[in-house]
Amino acid sequence: MLSKVAGKARPILISVLTLLLVIGPLVSRHPAVAQSGRQPDKKKVEKKTDVQKGAETENPQEPVPQESKDEPHLKLSTQVVNVEVSVIDKKTHRLVTNLGKNNFTIYEDGVKQEVTNMAPGEGPATVVLLLDNGFQNHYWQGYFNPTQAQEIFQSAAGFVQTFVKKSDYVSIVTFSMKPKVIQDFTNDRERLYNALMSAYRDLLNFSESNIFDALSFVLLGGKAIQLYEENAGLGEYLGLQEIEGHTAVILVTTGVDTFSRITFDRALKIVSQAGVPIFTIGVGNLVFKKYGDNWPATARLTMLQAQNELNAFAQRTGGAYFPMTFEGEIPSIMKSIEALLRTQYSLGYVPSNTRREGKERKIKLEVDLDGDGKPDNDKLELHYRDRYVEPGGPPPKKS
């Protein structure tokens, strides 16, 4: 009798155990939590001594989120004026390396300043590739003339190929009417290449080139959309002027601003105050040289003005301007930019003048190569920003 009952109960018991195994993992052992965060596993609480508590108070350790492990460790700068300088020997045309802090003297409005920090150019760099992707750049201009979009994105690809190392971080931002963040900071070349390809195929843009607004965005920060994610809303991004260390903007465009909200003077003030070198590459010169004589006077004047504005952004920030005529110039231009960035000395000082009225201040830099106390500027070619705009309003409160 018992064997018959056991025989009938065995299938039922197997079914119950199978059901428990299936639904067991689906039943949460903890209270429900929001999808925006994860609830950590509960750990056994151990009683700590006063020495352990004191050590935790002095050196608190915050957990690092899993998502941020691959992101660059960027530091926010304090109230320090940063001056990026490249030193070139006039006789040999070679970059001068292995200089120390004592080789440099900085003057602000004629007053000597104390150099508080210095970083050699061999360190990692944080760079934003700022690319003009207005729809008009994709217009066909003849069998033997590359489109301006081809020139822009081939230049960007050349920079990624020659420059990016494991310690660097590069971001890709395009613009037409508004800026688009195609790729946030990364040192992965494959991701950067894929982002460039996606941006090149992105034709959902206006026939505008708001260069001044785009420069303001990458330097000061603000809100922007991501490629193909306009419906996801705007994202908040940090400006390069808040980043400490070697930073730069590589701007590739025709230079013709069409519809920016801010003026050229306002943009020039922003780049002067940011302290970030801007390297500008002007495209569209081949078409201008071939057909510019047949253009209306206003069109020729617009192109010449655009070239002057790109040169002004570079000169004011200590960068360099490269007018590109042929695609074959891309490798040499990118090697020149890499050489300037890799050998730039990053100097910093706290101004002795505490005035905050938004006025312009002039910077003079002297370099003493042999340590005899006399500047050797007559033997050198120096690339640095020779002025900046002081902040306006009251100083920021200390947190």
pLDDT in tens, 160-171: 988 888 889 999
| Under 8 Å between Cβ of 134 and 205 | yes
- Are 278 and 317 a contacting pair, CB within 8 Å? yes
User: Taking 60 as the threshold, does the pLDDT of residue 228 lie above it?
Assistant: no
Confidence of residue 238 (pLDDT cuts 50, 70, 90): confident
Backbone angles phi, psi at 212, to 5 degrees: -65, -40
Higher pLDDT, 178 or 48: 178
Q: Which residue has better confidence, 38 or 98?
A: 98
Query: Quick one: tokens of 141?
Result: 């201009």
| Nearest 10 degrees: Cα torsion 91, 92, 94, 97 | -70
Residue 57 has pLDDT above 70, yes or no: no
For 126, which DSSP code?
A: E
User: Quick one: pLDDT band at residue 13, thresholds 50, 70, 90?
Assistant: very low
Taking the C-alpha atoms of residue 158 and residue 161, their distance in angstroms, rounded to an integer, is 5
Per-residue pLDDT band for 145 (boundaries 50, 70, 90) equals: low
Per-residue pLDDT tens over the stretch 249-289: 999 999 999 999 999 999 999 998 888 999 999 998 888 88
Does residue 150 or residue 59 have the better pLDDT? Answer: 150
Structure tokens of 216? 């303001």
For the segment 3-23, the average pLDDT, to the nearest whole number, is 46
Q: Higher model confidence: residue 164 or residue 42?
A: 164
Please tell me the least confidently modeled range out of 88-97, 229-238, 258-267.
Answer: 229-238
| Average pLDDT score over residue span 310-339 | 91
The stretch 130-156 carries a mean pLDDT of 81
In this predicted structure, the answer to whether residue 34 has a pLDDT above a threshold of 50 is: no
pLDDT tens column, 176-197: 988 989 998 999 999 999 999 9
**Among 328, 315, 332, 242, residue whose Cα is nearest residue 279:** 315
Q: What is the mean pLDDT of residues 322-328?
A: 90
Higher pLDDT, 21 or 274: 274
Give the position of tokens 């260390």.
245
Q: Looking at residues 374-386, what average pLDDT do you find?
A: 91
Q: What proportion of the chain, given as a percentage, has pLDDT over 90? A: 37
- The mean per-residue pLDDT over the stretch 348-352 comes to 92
**Mean pLDDT of the residues in the chain:** 78
Q: How confident is the model at residue 365 (pLDDT cuts 50, 70, 90)?
A: very high
Do 284 and 325 touch, CB atoms closer than 8 A? no
Query: Counting runs of H as helices and runs of E as strands, what totals does the chain give?
Result: 9, 16
For residue 121, what pLDDT is reported?
Answer: 64
